[in-house]
A and B are shown apart, each in its own frame.
Chain A
Amino acid sequence: MQGKRIDNEKIKAALNRFLEKQNHIALGFGKNSIFITHKIYRDHVDDLFLFNPYFSINGATFFYRVFGKDIKALMLLRPCEIRAMVELIKLNQIDPETAIMVSVDCPGAISLKKANADMPHDFFEIKQALDKNNRELRWACRFCREKRAVVGDAGIRIAEDRSMWIFPYSDKGNEFLGLIDEETIEFTGKFILSEGVKTEPFTTDMATFNSDFSKCILCKNCRDMCPVCYCVDCLFAGDEYLPKGDALINKMLRTGTEIFPYGKEIFHMIRMYHVSQTCVGCGACEEACPQEIPLTKYFKGISERLQNLFSYMSGRDIKEVIPYLTIKEDELNDAED
């Protein structure tokens, strides 16, 4: 494997070189007053953090519907965020020419909901804190399918000897590697992160589903924070599925007593049906839920089971076709029979 050995400073230097050009921006992690969070740089990178111990929002959500011509955005994000970007590119919500996606090995994260600002920000320190100090690793991270930076245009990987490397996966990645002041050499060592967790196929029943979702208040935050829930106008915005006002009263007069909020089961079911093939299992929905419903368990579990049926993994490769589009004309006849 051919790559470049790097460190934090070299990446920063390369980023600054990248930002010198007009209409070039970079998205990575920076610090707000307290926590490490997403940050967009236009002119100069000062406080870049490659690793973020807190998870709040999936970074792909910010880049939803970017079609601006001549804009180049370089992203240094977690693999789950890059995978969501790849899915959005497949869904034509981002111009593929715009984004240069560099994934970074992920040590896992804790939920920002429960966080104090005392987490370290070095890869090994984060990993140690999560392993030993019994800090609560997020559910989604514990069962993460792909922590390794093997997706996107390039990947920043950590070797067992604590050295940091960057490997190109596409032409755009090679372009960025050209900005790094280092020789391309062969990597022969081992990486610290191995393959993701293999879990049993997810199963559940209606009783558990009902009890888990009984707390739902239909705020629809999970939908808004989901990186692959991309429609400009959601079908739940109308009153066909979630009637309000007169439509609701008319419906109730005809059908009878109903428990409120009305239609939360159908909301989650339809949303699951819509995102299950593209879900990257990042758990942003659960972060957004004010009622602490275990959404990741359902969305990640079901989508991984479904994607496995088609040997598909969302965001793995930009050329892979989303399973429901691989329909063949003969299959229509099968349905008729």
Chain B
Amino acid sequence: MRAGIFICHCGHNIKHTVDVRYLSEYFKKIPGVVVSIDYAFVCSEPGQDIIKESIENQKLDRVVIASCTPSLHGDLFRDLLKKSGTNPFYLKRVSIREHCSWVGDDIEANTEKAKRLILSGLYAASHYIPLEEKMVEVNKSALVIGGGVSGLSAALFLARMGIKVYLIEREKELGGHVRLLNKVWPSMRNGKEIIRELIDEIERLDNVEIYTDTIITNFEGFFGNYQVTINNNGQERKFIVGGVVVATGFTPFDPSIKPELHYKKDKRIVTTLDLEKGIEYLELPKKPRVAILHCIGSRDETIGRSYCSRICCINSLKTAEEIKQRYPDSFVESFYMDVRAHPRGGEEYFESLQEKGVLFTRGNVAEIIPTDKNIIIRGEDTLLGEVYEKEFDLVVLSIGMSTAFDSRALGQLLKISLDKDGFFLEAHIKLRPFDTAVKGIFIAGSCSGPKDTEESINHGRASALKLFGMLNLGYAFVEPFISYVDPKRCSGCRQCEEACIAKAIKFDEKLRVVKVEEAACMGCGLCNATCPSSAISLKGYFDSFIADEISGLLEIA
């Protein structure tokens, strides 16, 4: 082994609490270390040149860089090694900034800790083997699950950029919930029109295949080569896609879960979604008294929905406006916790309705008592601290969003995770909000949390663009940190096969051993931990190497 150790000062970030000069001198004496240098900024151009020159002149075969966290500059140093003519997987990054210099002020203790961290990194690097990133071909086609406004937008964007799109929808008709909306805030356009426009545009393109009344029955493979089986109205169909956009949307909250709301028992109690059909069928008196109840099925711990559904405040305001327009002499009162009219123009809309005479009372309704003549509502006004009891002719429940009923099953099929509320989980809430943890599978629209129409359209377009960026390259690199099986040791007990969540392990009936499908393996290491005879190891992470890494941390006194 010819190892080079490069210790970064990171300006003052590391240098001020770690004695970097002492460290670089110390490691010069360790056997196997050829170069040991400390430098102000290893990531800078001159810093990179030092590493490159050392690799070329000293023929280094291990490079240990002690600097910031490995998630920073990871690709930069890997590329540097590649350019300098060594295998990029001979690189070991040691974090002596986040894990060491930023933690405490004691120079002596920090230097000691940095010494152990670098030594353990060196021990680990001594076990490194050269690894190759495998290139796989990417199929330039995409599957869009869900034909709502988000899925349609995603399909349209992908198709326009020349990707073959398979759009599947569970219902008989495309359009999702937007199709049911009479007016979509803030443009107040008809939902059907919006959908019609999108569908017309999609139908003009010839690279979109639309399947309605369809569900996915099987899904396997890996990025660039997912094999999908669908059941289209009883007929089975199979195709291969490069990536997936999941836009399964939501289910409107069903208020009959809470019997105290009397929904479906009394026809004078309706939801905001029922009102999209119009008000006429309710046969209200000329001066109707209408109560609007906010937060039905949202922000409610008792039914396990602690999240805010975001859309229902605007929906309530829209309902109030419609009633005021149809019955100018009506009395409309809204019972709320908070009015969260957060989209642009929402707050102004809220104020305009207050001016129109809609009454807003802070305090959730505790009791609904339907009588022959009217509906009595009781609750506490939290601003005045008084109990109210009022009579109404109509009660409108402003319902929130629940997860699509089969999202858990779909999540299991696609191997993507769900958050605690059952919405699909993004890979990172800020940095990767459209990605899932599985490569090539993106989420769009309200299947990843409540969103309004505008947000859903944008989310769909963004996911489509991200997927296009990955598909358009035509190839992808597979991380080399995957499992491999030693056939001599494997006893064919197939416990790993059951443990594998990526379904990457296949059993060879003839040899009675298992094999890893390299492209499908996610490198999670579950099989590794399951195998009793250590026949499976993760390339780049052997048991012996981790043991040595630990002993590096413990050995020097």
Contact = CB atoms under 8 A, between A and B. Distances in A.
Given A231-B533, A233-B533, A254-B555, A329 B493 contact: no
A329 B411 CA distance: 10
B524 A332 contact: yes
Interface string B506-540: 00000010000000000010100010111100000
Given A235-B533, A255-B551, A327-B526, A230 B499 contact: no
A249 interface: no
Contacts of B28: none
A233 B535 contact: yes
Chain A contact patch, size range: 20 to 34
Contact of A330 (B417, B499, B512, B555): B417
A178 B489 CA distance: 42
A92 B524 contact: no
A329 B501 contact: yes
A330 B417 CA distance: 7
B489 A231 contact: yes
Given A231-B491, A329-B412, A67 B512 contact: yes
Nearest to A93: B493
Nearest to A233: B489
A244 interface: no
Interface in B476-517: 488-495, 498-499, 501, 512
A324 interface: yes
Contact of A92 (B492, B499, B533, B534): B492
Contacts of B181: none
Contacts of B491: 65, 93, 230-233
Nearest to B494: A92
Given A329-B417, A333-B417, A91 B495 contact: yes
A324 B530 contact: yes
Contacts of B544: 240
A64 to B, nearest CB: 10
A231 B532 contact: yes
Contacts of B34: none
A230 B491 CA distance: 8
B415 interface: yes
B533 A325 contact: no
A230 B490 CA distance: 11
A197 interface: no
B417 A232 contact: no
A255 B123 CA distance: 14
Given A93-B493, A230-B491, A240 B543 contact: yes
Interface in A70-126: 91-93
B418 interface: yes
A325 B499 contact: yes
Interface centre among B418, B490, B493, B524 (most CB of A within 10 A): B493
Contacts of A231: 489, 491, 532-533, 535
Interface centre among B412, B498, B551 (most CB of A within 10 A): B498
Contacts of A92: 492-494
A233 B498 CA distance: 21
A234 interface: yes
B270 to A, nearest CB: 37
A322 interface: yes
Interface string B392-417: 00000000000000000000100101
B42 to A, nearest CB: 29
A328 to B, nearest CB: 9
A142 interface: no
A274 interface: yes
A230 B418 CA distance: 37
A91 B524 CA distance: 22
B500 to A, nearest CB: 10
A91 B490 CA distance: 12
B489 A322 contact: no
B545 to A, nearest CB: 10
22 contacts: A91-B493, A92-B492, A92-B493, A231-B532, A231-B533, A233-B533, A233-B535, A235-B532, A235-B533, A240-B547, A254-B551, A321-B498, A322-B495, A324-B495, A324-B499, A325-B530, A327-B499, A327-B526, A329-B415, A329-B501, A330-B417, A330-B418
Given A91-B494, A274-B532, A330-B417, 4 more contacts: A65-B491, A92-B493, A233-B535, A324-B530
Interchain residue pairs A-B with the least CB separation, the first 4: A231-B533, A235-B534, A233-B489, A91-B493
